[in-house]
Amino acid sequence: MFKNSLIYLILSIIISCIYLHGKEFTMITFDEFDNIDELKFVNDTGLKKVVLEKYFVNNSYSIPKHNFLSFFAYDETSKETSTRPILEIEFKDQVNNYLILLEKNRNNRSGIKYTFLNNDSEFPKLSTLIFNRSDIPVIAKVGSKFFKISPQSKRNLKFELGNKGSFKEDVSFAFRRSDKSIEYIYSSFWKLYEHQKKICFIDYNEKNNNLEFRDFLMH
């Protein structure tokens, strides 16, 4: 099986030998996948990997000139790579940078659903992109301003550059409990420069019976 995997990977290297300058894609996993720890693919510099850890923001990679990539499943326990691609993605164009969101989908062979998100227009610099994947409305407080993030939705908040070339504000996230009390799930001081942005994930943890918040700084 390992020999067959190498053959497929070598073929993919040959097919994927020419890559475009500048435009990139970044993969983010929204779920955990049974028996798949990583997705492997190849580009002009060799073998690359995408970590399938929930809410993990992977490294950015060049979009191939031929607008197509094949991904192979890797199981950390068995140390085996699938002999055939488990996921194939066709890119829309060579004009934009993209986020690719990966979710579980039992309706297709791979069990993986992917969604494109324009990493330029839908998630510009000096902004935050918030995914509320819970069934609970959440309120974001940025400085003195309040913003509602509806259940199972995403929202982008754009910031203003301050006098010293950065955005600086206290930021917090909270929700209203059934007894009408307010519970904060996150509170921090944010400082972002013009080339930076933040992506945030809010989700319900059934085991701990609470909302969880994660944020990542991106460039």
Strands of the chain, DSSP E: 19-29, 38-43, 46-51, 57-64, 68-75, 80-81, 87-90, 98-104, 112-118, 127-132, 138-142, 145-149, 153-158, 166-176, 182-193, 197-205, 210-218
C-alpha to C-alpha distance for 108 and 126, rounded to whole angstroms? 37
- Of 98, 118, 138, which residue constitutes the final position of a domain? 118
Domain of residue 65, residue span: 2-118
Q: How many domains is the chain built from?
A: 2
Q: What is the mean pLDDT of residues 148-162?
A: 96
14: pLDDT strictly greater than 60: no
Residues whose CB falls within 8 Å of the CB of residue 158, separated by 6 or more in sequence, listed in order: 124, 126, 127
For residue 156, what pLDDT band results from cuts at 50, 70 and 90? very high
Residues whose CB falls within 8 Å of the CB of residue 164, separated by 6 or more in sequence, listed in order: none
C-alpha to C-alpha distance for 161 and 60, rounded to whole angstroms? 26
Asked if 81 and 51 sit in the same domain, the reply is: yes
2: pLDDT strictly greater than 70: no
Tell me the whole-structure pTM to 2 decimals: 0.84
Asked if 8 and 78 sit in the same domain, the reply is: yes
Asked if 102 and 133 sit in the same domain, the reply is: no
Asked if 110 and 145 sit in the same domain, the reply is: no
- Of 64, 83, 118, which residue constitutes the final position of a domain? 118
Asked if 134 and 114 sit in the same domain, the reply is: no
CB-based contact 47:75 (threshold 8 Å) = no
38-66 per-position pLDDT tens digit: 999 987 677 899 999 999 999 999 988 88
How far is residue 174 from each of residues 140, 143, 184, measured CA to CA in Å?
7, 14, 4
CB-based contact 132:106 (threshold 8 Å) = no
Asked if 7 and 88 sit in the same domain, the reply is: yes
CB-based contact 42:5 (threshold 8 Å) = no
70-115 per-position pLDDT tens digit: 999 999 888 899 999 999 999 877 788 999 999 998 776 668 999 9
- Of 118, 136, 169, which residue constitutes the final position of a domain? 118
